[in-house]
Chain A
Amino acid sequence: MDAIFIFFSSNYNMITIVILSIFLGIEVISRVPSVLHTPLMSGANAIHGVVVIGAIIVMGQAESNDYLVLTLGFLAVTLGTLNVVGGFVVTDRMLEMFSKKKNSKK
């Protein structure tokens, strides 16, 4: 039992963030028109590209002669960036369609 207390108190911040984020995610999405499902999925797709930060940290901490890690890290940064940039640009292109028609109506 003590063990659980220790785990809980030493990771209190992380646990709070995780639980609040879960509820926030549910709350933010729950009433979305089906028209926006695809752009929303695409936007969320871009956001999880935040994993690229991890790749940058890996890369930045690598020994400058450790070519295996450098190559892997380089690959990770490239792929993560692809995820972020591609994701946001694709989402923007989808949403552009919506706003264009809004303007033409005015």
Chain B
Amino acid sequence: MQNFILLLSYLIGSISFIVGLKMLSHPDTARKGNLYAAVGMTIAILATIFLYKDDSGNYLGNYPWIFGGLIIGTVIGTMMAKRVQMTGMPQMVSLFNGMGGACAAIISIVEFKHLMHKQANTETTSTITEALNSIIKLVTTYSNPSLILFTILLGLVIGTVSFFGSMIAFGKLNGNLNDRTLPAQQVINIGLLLIIVGLLAAMVTGFTGIDITVLFWALFGVSALYGILFVMPIGGADMPVVISLLNSFTGVAAACGGFLYSNPVMLTGGILVGSAGTILTILMCKAMNRSLTNVIVGAFGGNKNGAAQQEVGGAYKEISMSDTAVLMAYSKRIVIVPGYGLAVAQAQHICHELEKVLEEKEVEVTYAIHPVAGRMPGHMNVLLAEADVPYEKLKEMEEINPEFAQTDVVLILGANDVVNPAAKNDPASPIYGMPILEVEDAKHVIVNKRSMKPGYAGIENALFFQPKTSMLFGDAKKVLQDLVAELKAL
């Protein structure tokens, strides 16, 4: 009976994940979907704690330790998640993802220890034929220790890569780390990957005869190194894609755990996230018109000193606050292009106020949202929604691009790469091919930036030097406050 309840709980958990994910992909039901998944997870966890029995029919013990961990994790997790500002969301997701990866890796470490304890050693093989035979044996019987070992090792590798990769991604998004590319980075990465595969094969077949524990830690070390080097050269603009990819990695690592314990809810949850995460990664790449390989190989980071890009430079002109105010007040249509600068300055509320002031003067204001504006897809939507900007005012790229020609003023707030015309007309540019907001079609372009420093992709923007473009330097929040004051005084 108790086993029945446990399995039923797992079934509820699995269903809640599926329904939750499904609901998360529609704006109206998203929040409920998240809640369903959370409830399902809680049921599955509680059922495991109280009803799970091992092979010999014993319940789990060590309750104080388990609940200690659960409580500490819950308190810290809630605090971190509540405290983080909207601009810091991407880092937070990456950090939590890393925690899941670490959890999977630790499970593998402990289970490896158990496995080694149970049987002194897996048989060692000395000839290639024997090694091949043992691979064949591996896929033949599920209870074969080699298959269990393989699952453990896979969980270790993926979990470790995911943890270290996520930590690097976190550091980069948080601004603690810069992009770094080693010479021959790709060769090193592929080499590390081959070493990982080689170690896996050696351990499962027992081919080398080296102490398997030594190999295990070597595998751990190489995986950690790979996780670090894999993310290190990838440019900040691609970080969301990487986080999404690491997210699906952790899913697969969780599924390995599911295999290990024949646990259906871990299996469905893990695989579901693995496949959904992969699709999401591809969708994000599509939104930036880049291929996944392109992102992983790290064209952004590696290309900087490579191909000769078109020289960009010349004179730019600044515009004063009062001129901006007058220009805007007497426009018919204004499009605001928000970017990371807006997010950093926490200027979303004052931006909404600007929009209201302008509307009082009968100016039509809309927002042009580039799919990857900010640091993550949807980042700008979340920020502006926080400031109560009506949903209908946010226009997606395809929708707004034809409208720029009828726009009087485009106000760019801390966006750079997403309006860089080099993406359209400079094949040597690292962002060539990415769809952009075609703001050049508008009559006037006003760019608010803190300085002339290039954007995240590290490239100059020819837009800033065009005759119809004026620069309005300063922190987005401060500038918008002054602008609103000027407009009110008009």
Contacts and interface: CB of A to CB of B under 8 A. Distances in A.
B73 A54 contact: no
A39 B61 CA distance: 36
Given A72-B106, A88-B34, A34 B142 contact: no
A10 B141 contact: yes
Given A38-B382, A95-B34, A51 B257 contact: yes
A80 B104 CA distance: 8
B279 A25 contact: yes
Contact of A76 (B107, B272, B390): B107
Given A50-B269, A53-B45, A97-B385, A28 B69 contact: no
Contacts, number: 395
B140 to A, nearest CB: 4
B251 A48 contact: yes
Contact of B69 (A38, A47, A59, A62): A59
B379 A38 contact: yes
Nearest to B13: A50
Nearest to A23: B275
A interface SS class: helix
B110 to A, nearest CB: 5
Contact of B96 (A26, A37, A64, A87): A87
A23 to B, nearest CB: 8
Contacts of B255: 18
Contacts of A102: 28, 391
Most B Cβ at <10 Å: residue of A43, A97, A105: A43
A85 B74 contact: yes
Nearest to B82: A89
A23 B397 CA distance: 30
Contacts of B37: 43, 46-47, 88
Contacts of A10: 141-142
B382 A79 contact: no
In this complex, the interface size class of chain A, counting residues with CB under 8 Å from chain B, is: 35 or more
Given A10-B141, A35-B27, A60-B66, A54 B104 contact: yes
A45 B77 CA distance: 13
B291 interface: no
Nearest to B61: A60
A70 B92 contact: no
A35 B381 CA distance: 6
Nearest to B277: A44
Name the residue among A11, A25, A30, A36 with the largest chain B CB count within 10 angstroms: A25
B69 A36 contact: no
Contact of A101 (B24, B34, B388): B388
A70 B240 CA distance: 35
A98 B262 CA distance: 38
Interface string B34-50: 11011001001100110
B272 A35 contact: no
A33 B140 CA distance: 44
B479 interface: no
Interface stretch (B118-126, B198-206, B280-288): B280-288
Contacts of A88: 34, 37-38, 41
B275 A80 contact: no
Contacts of A22: 271, 274-275
A83 B268 CA distance: 17
A74 B247 contact: no
B66 A59 contact: yes
A74 to B, nearest CB: 5
Contacts of A34: 283, 287, 371, 377-378, 396
Interface string A67-87: 011101111111111111111
A41 to B, nearest CB: 5
B62 A44 contact: no
Interface string B361-391: 0000000000100001111011101101111
A103 to B, nearest CB: 10
18 contacts: A18-B255, A25-B271, A29-B25, A30-B279, A38-B89, A38-B90, A43-B30, A44-B276, A45-B250, A47-B17, A51-B104, A51-B266, A57-B48, A76-B102, A79-B103, A84-B38, A99-B31, A102-B391
Given A28-B18, A47-B37, A79-B102, 14 more contacts: A43-B34, A47-B20, A47-B269, A50-B41, A50-B265, A51-B254, A52-B103, A55-B107, A75-B102, A79-B103, A83-B99, A84-B73, A86-B76, A102-B391
Complex A-B, nearest 3 residue pairs according to Cβ-Cβ distance, in ascending order? A60-B60, A81-B73, A77-B69
